[in-house]
Amino acid sequence: MTSRRGLRDGGELAGRALLGLLFVLEGFGKLGAYDAAAAYMSAFGMPPQLLPAAIAVELGAGLLVIAGWHARLAAIGLAAFCIVAAIVFHTRFGDRNQLIHFEKDLALAGAFLILWARGAGRLSLDAWRAGRRGARSDQAPAAS
């Protein structure tokens, strides 16, 4: 039973790291090719003035997901980010590459919704914080 728990905990940590790392790398990529990223956004009718916000979301929320710190908030933000990216940038379904990117963005949004619903897991700063407060980190978010 303990080994199953360890596998689950490790899987949650690895999953968060892989999900978050994708966005951290993309954020740094946009910083490194800022003008190209701004031109890409403009080509799809998005104001390039939104690029700093996109970079901040990718870097900030990606790091939060990796650390498991305010992971639910970061996850819901990245789920929305992925859905918007799919709808704005990847709707030329006649282009197989764009269809794949659309599907990938929706799948990532689904993964982030699971993270939002389930929480970051035991190997996270959220769990550490909850333990210090005497709360459980795996509880569903409170209804609004």
Q: What is the pLDDT of residues 36-67, one digit of tens each?
A: 999 999 999 999 999 999 999 999 999 999 99
Closest to 110 (Cα-Cα) out of 84, 73, 82: 82
CA distance 90 to 75: 21
CA distance 102 to 124: 30
Do the beta carbons of residue 128 and residue 59 sit within 8 Å? no
CA distance 105 to 83: 6
Which pair of tokens denotes residue 124? Answer: 């996270």
Sign of CA dihedral 22, 63, 52, 85: positive
Q: Residue 29's pLDDT is what?
A: 98
| Over residues 8-21, mean pLDDT | 97
Q: Residue 3's pLDDT is what?
A: 87
Do the beta carbons of residue 112 and residue 79 sit within 8 Å? yes
Q: Residue 135's pLDDT is what?
A: 58
